[in-house]
């Protein structure tokens, strides 16, 4: 019986841990959007369908509330997702135990009766509850709770005895009857006095003082042993297992020595044969559970492969173990291409060995430290050599000597393009496509703050532009402004900048510390503008001229002061007849 119970508890622990560490559940907890929750629900439904002896498969959050629950119907055995009536289980003892459970530990409750909405279900539904904490990024995120049909284990324990040779008795550590006393089974959960420890406290004291032995109760003999899980990672209740010999006392004074000897020999045979049978059955069960676990892993792998996010699993050396269909589509690599190859070397390095991403590789960091890593903006190379913009999240699992990790990738190319577009829009004048006022002044401030030789500025104003607008209209005026800018840009050097201050006023930041060079550039601009009228097709061209004020920065001069001197020179150019260049000095 002990071996059967030990094997059953180990199986319960393995199943619960398998679900608690599943990539699909962790993906939902990292990003709790509806699509990810639906995938986690599908995973629990699949596992429930594979395991026929679980009445409930649940994910309960850190506040003790059911978030995902799969029920198995008693009538037809079908699994179904419960979306309504999810309950607050924070007051239940098994949830309280789960909230205190350390990572890597498993809690298995005492035999219990299922409770719904704070009432014991009738007819009785004996259950065992297995609880495993869910840990993400070293933070507790709730627990996985499996309700298994306790009747399955009771039947297995009864099967360890030869037919018609006794009855299995199971009692709780507090002396409550679980099996073996039809009138009192489970009554201790309703009436605390219905316990052997209460009805015969002296007898119970003798039982609890020994690890095993026999006792007599109600004229029948019980051969008992105390059982507790041997696996140190499993926190389970302590139970008394006994074999009750019906209608026979422990002290048979009329039994002769020969009969006693024969009984002992028979007992040896009766014990040894079941042990061999139990060993054989245990081997078969272990093979069965092993196959079941492999089947569930295959099912979970199928779910992961069909997930909406790109998922890649790597081993401790960052070598790819598997990747789902979305990862293959996103990177352009087939799973066969990358299996056994370093993910870092394949997607983070150019053929010359140059990294394509800023900073350290998140996957290598996670494998080295055992800590989850994420990069909101990562870069990778596709198989074709295209540079991809991705968001990366790496979740490690396993011990330091055999650590692995799940790498989740999301394509953010559209976000990057949008950011670049917004950046350009924030700096560019919409009409002329030159720098706007804010941007050109920022560049000027940067030039003045630079330790290199300061830049001279040219303040430009189109002569008589108002009369052009009045005569030809604002649409033609806008076209002339655009023509004016395109004409000037042909005269600028590589580092010179042109910006629109407002209306027909512009600034050129000329990257030269020489006033003579700046004056020469201004004169060339003035000449080209005067000699390049705006062509209007069949209509007469519109000539234009420009007045320019030039200023060279003085030590410790502010942008405002420099602009004021340039504007003053510009006004002098206009006052002296327009279409000319005037120095602020």
What distance in Å separates the CA atoms of residue 421 and residue 415, rounded to the nearest whole number?
Answer: 10
Report residue 151 as tokens: 């009747």
Which among 548, 556, 539, 535 has a CA at the least distance from the CA of 486? 535
Q: Report the half-sphere exposure of 465 (CA within 13 A, side-chain side).
A: 23
For 261, residues 6+ apart whose C-beta sits below 8 A from its C-beta are: none
Give the per-residue SS3 of 80-97.
EEECCCCCECCCCHHHHH
Which H or E run contains 457? strand 456-462
Cα–Cα distance for residue pair 234/470, rounded to 1 Å = 89
Q: How many CA atoms lie within 13 A of 115 on its CB side?
A: 15
Where does 348-506 have alpha helices with state H?
Answer: 362-369, 413-427, 437-449, 465-472, 474-489
For residues 6 and 14, give the distance between their C-alpha atoms in angstroms, rounded to a whole number. 12
Instruction: Please state the three-class secondary structure of 184-231 as a single string.
Output: CCCHHHCCCCCEHHHHCHHHHHHHHCCCEEEEEECCEEEEEEEECCCC
- Between CA 106 and CA 231 the distance in angstroms is 10
- Is 375:340 a contact under the CB 8 Å cutoff? no
Whether 294 is catalytic is no
CA-based nearest residue to 207, from 192, 224, 183: 224
> Rounded to an integer, what distance in angstroms lies between the CA atom of residue 288 and that of residue 272?
24
One DSSP character per residue, 336-386 reads HHHBTSBHHHHHSB-TTS-B-SSSS-HHHHHHHH---EEEEEEEEE-TTSP
The CA distance from 219 to 213, in Å, is 17
CA distances from 57 to 74, 146, 166, 571 (A): 14, 5, 35, 82
3-state helix, strand, coil in the chain (%, to 5): 40, 30, 30
> Which DSSP string corresponds to 58-120?
EEE-TTSBEEEEEEE-TTT--EEEE-SS--B-TTSHHHHHHHHPPTT-EEEPPSEE-EETTEE
| Three-state DSSP string of 288-304 | HHHHHHHHHHHHHHHHH
d(Cα 31, Cα 150) in Å, to the nearest integer? 36
Question: Which entry of 504, 505, 523, 568 is annotated as an active-site residue?
Answer: 504
Question: In the beta sheet, which residues pair with residue 244?
Answer: 167, 222
Q: Based on the number of CB atoms within 10 Å of its own CB, is 317 exposed (0-12), middle (13-18) or buried (19 or more)?
A: exposed
Instruction: Give residues with Cβ within 8 angstroms of 580, minimum separation 6.
Output: 526, 547, 548, 573
Residues with catalytic roles:
504
């Amino acid at each position: 019986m002990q071996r059967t119970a030990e094997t059953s508890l180990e199986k319960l622990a393995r199943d619960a841990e398998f679900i608690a560490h599943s990539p699909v559940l962790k993906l939902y907890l990292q990003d709790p959007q509806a699509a990810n929750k639906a995938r986690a629900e599908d995973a629990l439904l699949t596992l429930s369908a594979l395991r026929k002896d679980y009445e409930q498969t649940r994910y309960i959050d850190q506040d003790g509330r059911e978030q995902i629950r799969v029920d198995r119907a008693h009538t037809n055995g079908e699994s179904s997702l419960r979306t309504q009536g999810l309950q607050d289980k924070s007051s239940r003892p098994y949830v309280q135990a789960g909230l205190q459970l350390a990572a890597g530990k498993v809690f298995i409750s005492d035999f219990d009766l299922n409770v719904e909405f704070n009432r014991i279900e009738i007819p009785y539904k004996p259950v065992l509850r297995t609880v495993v904490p869910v840990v993400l990024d070293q933070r507790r995120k709730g627990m996985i709770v499996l309700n298994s049909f306790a009747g399955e284990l009771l039947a297995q324990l009864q099967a360890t005895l030869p037919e018609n040779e006794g009855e299995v008795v199971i009692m709780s550590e507090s002396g409550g009857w679980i099996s073996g006393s039809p009138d009192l089974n489970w009554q201790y959960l309703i009436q605390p006095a219905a316990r052997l420890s209460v009805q015969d406290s002296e007898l119970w004291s003798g039982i609890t003082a020994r690890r095993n032995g026999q006792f007599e109760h109600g004229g029948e003999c019980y051969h008992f042993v105390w059982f507790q899980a041997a696996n140190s990672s499993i926190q389970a209740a302590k139970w008394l297992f006994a074999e009750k010999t019906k209608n026979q006392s422990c002290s048979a004074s009329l039994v002769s020595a020969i009969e006693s000897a024969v009984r002992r020999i028979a007992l040896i045979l009766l014990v040894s044969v079941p042990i061999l049978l139990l060993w054989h059955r245990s081997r078969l069960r272990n093979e069965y559970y092993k196959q079941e676990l492999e089947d569930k892993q295959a099912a979970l792998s199928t779910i992961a492969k069909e997930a909406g996010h790109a998922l890649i699993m790597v081993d401790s050396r960052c070598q790819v173990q598997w990747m789902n269909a979305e990862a293959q589509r996103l990177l352009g690599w087939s799973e066969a291409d990358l299996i056994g190859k370093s993910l870092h070397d394949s997607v983070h390095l150019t053929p010359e060995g140059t990294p394509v991403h800023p900073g350290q590789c998140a996957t290598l960091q996670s494998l080295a430290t055992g800590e989850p890593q994420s990069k909101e903006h990562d870069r990778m190379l596709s198989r074709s050599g295209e540079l991809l913009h991705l968001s990366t999240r790496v979740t490690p699992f396993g011990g330091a000597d055999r650590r692995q990790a799940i790498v989740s990738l999301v394509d953010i190319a559209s976000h990057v393009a949008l950011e670049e577009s917004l950046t350009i829009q924030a700096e560019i004048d919409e009409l002329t496509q030159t720098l706007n006022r804010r941007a050109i002044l920022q560049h000027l401030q940067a030039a003045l703050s630079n330790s290199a030789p300061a830049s001279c500025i040219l303040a430009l104003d189109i002569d008589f532009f108002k009369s052009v607008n009045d005569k030809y209209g604002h649409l033609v005026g806008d076209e002339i402004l655009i023509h004016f800018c395109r004409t000037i840009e042909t005269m600028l050097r590589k580092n010179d900048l042109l910006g629109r201050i407002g209306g027909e006023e512009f600034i050129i930041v000329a990257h030269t510390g020489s006033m003579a060079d700046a004056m020469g550039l201004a004169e060339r601009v003035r000449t080209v503008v005067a000699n390049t009228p705006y062509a209007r097709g069949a209509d007469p061209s519109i000539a234009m001229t420009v007045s320019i004020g030039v200023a060279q920065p003085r030590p410790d001069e502010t942008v405002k002061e420099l602009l004021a001197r340039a504007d003053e020179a510009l006004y002098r150019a206009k006052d002296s007849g327009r279409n000319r260049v005037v120095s602020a000095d």
